[in-house]
A = this chain, B = another copy of it.
């Protein structure tokens, strides 16, 4: 017997919440039952579009008895409480990254999640990108022998506004956190972090004591080294590349282009079109795949969803990188 579609309660109806609403609606194994947002107009618009119920109160949604799973896409400071309430209500949760900017609050929540009878997944969407997933699968299969170096290049197309930066937790917790999880997708056992942060173009970041440019180096227990190169801007689009270098070769993931067209003229040959603009375009397939895996997880089937522990590990690495960049030391970490 085919199971009924999973009834989702979506909390948070901003940009990323809308992406998830569309994924839920498109997935034959899911339905969007409720949306909640304290900014109730946003919730109403989404509810109208998809024909579901809306509320300003996440509590009403969680306790409605009409949802089977919670998707948390609200602002970061609300995540810890919403995870706790969902777990208390016996509902599986898929929560957007990060869990919180404060590792103390994350650790306080940890025992509840560990002893909960329901799974808590973290929204590290890049793990579900077909190309990154394929690259990692081939590394695990030993196609290039032992992994020795992993290079992650991750540049956003343009810097966020100062208001966003002010509550972001800084480049390592806000942006590099995705790359820390990608590093752990290939090499889970990171033991040491060093980092250099600089200010090259964004006065807004400088004024807030944040960096706009960063290089982070991670050492894994195996001896393999990960290099993460970040910039808050990139004139040629969303720069998202990986190179996994091993004893017998290298597996690379290149950028996604907006088309298959190239142009050759007197001054440049085989010039390609711009890369895909930003994460909504680049990771459209990944968001859908992430949801499918979470549905499996919620149903108790085998799933590759990253967990609360993965979310905690990424935050520990981000904290360590922040400290390494500020104090100019190498910081040992314990992710266990």
Contact = CB atoms under 8 A, between A and B. Distances in A.
A330 B198 CA distance: 14
* A interface residue count range (under 10 / 10 to 19 / 20 to 34 / 35 or more): 35 or more
- Give how many copies assemble into the complex: 4
A254 B260 contact: yes
Contact of A198 (B223, B229, B257, B262): B223
A304 B229 CA distance: 31
Contacts of A144: 235, 263, 265
Interface string A129-172: 01100110010000111101101010100000000000000000
Contact of A227 (B229, B256, B275, B329): B229
Contacts of A200: 146, 148, 222-224, 247
A324 B143 CA distance: 33
Contacts of A223: 198-200, 213
Given A249-B265, A266-B249, A224 B198 contact: yes
Contacts of A224: 198, 200
Interface in A207-260: 213, 215, 217, 219, 222-225, 227, 229, 231, 233-237, 245, 247-257, 259-260
Given A200-B146, A217-B215, A329-B328, A269 B259 contact: no
B229 A151 contact: yes
Given A233-B247, A252-B262, 15 more contacts: A131-B259, A131-B261, A143-B263, A149-B213, A149-B231, A215-B217, A235-B249, A235-B250, A236-B266, A237-B269, A251-B264, A252-B264, A253-B260, A268-B272, A271-B271
Nearest to A227: B215
A117 interface: no
A227 to B, nearest CB: 5
Nearest to A328: B330
A248 B273 contact: no
A213 B196 contact: no
A2 interface: no
A196 B198 contact: no
Contacts of A225: 196, 198, 213, 215
A259 B252 CA distance: 11
A207 B102 CA distance: 42
Contacts of A31: none
Given A225-B196, A249-B265, A274-B269, A260 B329 contact: no
Given A201-B247, A266-B274, A269-B275, A196 B196 contact: no
A267 interface: yes
B272 A249 contact: no
B248 A266 contact: yes
A225 B155 CA distance: 14
Contacts of A334: none
A261 B143 contact: no
